[in-house]
Structure 1
Amino acid sequence: MRYDDSPPLPESRSSISPDRPWFARRPALTVALAALAPTCLAGWVLAQVLTGSDSGGRQPEGMPLAASHTTAGSDAKASASPTPAPGTGPGTAASPAQSPSGAAAPAKGPLTGRTVVIDPGHNTGNFQHSAEINKQVDIGTNRKECDTTGTTTNSGYMEAEFSLDVSRRARALLEAKGAKVVFTHEGDRPWGPCINERARIGNEAAADAVVSVHADGASAGNRGFHVILPARVKGGAADTAKIVGPSRDLGERIASNFGRTTGSSPANYLGSGTGLVVRDDLGGLNLSTRPKVFLECGNMRDDKDAAQLMSPEWRQKAAQGIADGITGFLGG
């Protein structure tokens, strides 16, 4: 079927004058080119089949590039720049340089070669595992429950959620300074770990500093933060003689930086306004062989403190205060 906008049909042979062959009307050059065209086309198609590309090995336009993987020890090169790793939040600087295997290269900074252990207090699953966390464990000088549930705000925001969030924020800040950061848990286990295991993780990591992150559950009206320092204890597997001094230094630096960064005041209900408290009944401190402190960032049962603890912006400040205190302690 022929439409009005279709090109005219070729002249039929019957319309050619009988005294001249139909092909005689074409110039000799046209005939020669027509004869060569099929041969050239066939040659070009054969070249594409053999090379698999349109020119010089380039991928034809409009076709997606195949994924490129670089394996250690191979000579392969990626044909495109690697996709930058996602940042950790608003305002994040350009992603770190990529290693040959594609993984982010460790940051270099004032804490390069240092190991920090962060211990996010409690676990959101502890509420459903009371039998497990109530089992007694040896803390050297005594026996205590494996762990506790932690507290909540009056609206139900859990201490375990708070502590893990602040810990992760602090980790990002410390890793940016070159530190190796080890967690006692990532919130990916059903309950725990027990207090003796938390201490063991710090010891086995040969940590230069250990900080356990918490929030208090005192009565309303009690406000502010405090840092818990290890007392001098000895008994069984507990012997804090070597860590009492450096732990106090760590605690003082965290208290100073935490207060300045968050704008919070030292607790008004213990510590005589210093923000420092010494205790001999915490297994995580008694069993530690590395400088270690507990930080109670505020009182979840006080509405004013709770409002701060539930604020992501304030939690970032809290993490900054912790990271700055650790950095100062380690001489970074």
Structure 2
Amino acid sequence: MNNNVTEFILLGLTQDPVKKKIVFAFFLLPYLGTLLGNSLIIVTIKTSRALGSPMYFFLFYLSLSDTWFSTSMAPRMIVDALLKNSTISFSECMIQVFSFHFFGCLEVLILILMAIDRYVAICKPLHYMSIMSRRVCSVLVALAWVVSCVHSSVQIFLTLRLPFCGPNVIDHYLCDLQPLLKLACTDTYVTNLLLVSNSGAICTVSFVMLMFSYVIILHSLRNHSAEGRKKALSTCISHIIVVILFFGPCIFIYTRPTTTFPMDKMITVFYTFGTPLINPLIYTLRNAEVKNAMRKLWSKKLVS
């Protein structure tokens, strides 16, 4: 591999000094909100005995993956907004590609596990605790970590195969395979196909699977009591909102790596900043058990 590039220049969302200050403020607050919201969910689930069911076990890991996913690129983007010129070394760029895809894939798989959990809880209620035991849930989460590692390793392998001879300017605010493909001094047709079959297929197939599973779940609710149907419906709607908000932009970006549009960076902003921030709001505002557990935790802190 002929690689003369040791660092890349990130153009970010804008090069205008005034607009860069707006970008700094605009993304610092959502990132801090993401950290606060997800940390609150993590601490609440970890300390509350009432939230010991498999659903909250998976929600704990969803909040973790949200936090790490956002942290894999948000701090650098926020700091870069204060700099005149933003550069990232080749090795740092590869680390960002790996971590971004690792935690992104982990979030996808956790959402699938949450859908499986809701399916078993609603469609197989008598066997729920035996099927979704703590050991089974732990194995499923461990498997999600392994699959995420394999996925992100493929991304790194595809990137390291590319020769970079210059230029080294990335028209984006993060390192990802698509903007890097534009800088490679070789034909990237095969790599593009591999990217679609990897990231694109994972996003699309996962989205179809999730939506199909929730259709089955919602269809089965007709046999439940009015109270049980209302509670299950509230939970499922929360999950469906998260799935649409996360997978919609991902499918738009990763199923057409050879084609770029001016709005691509803003769409990427939505699922890298927006979804990790919205998730805690959806799971707390629409979940009475989580809100009650948070109130008890806050009361204990005030008393102590």
TM-score of the superposed pair, with normalisation by structure 2: 0.25
TM-score of the superposed pair, with normalisation by structure 1: 0.23
More strand, by proportion:
1
Q: Whose radius of gyration is greater, 1 or 2?
A: 1
More helix, by proportion:
2
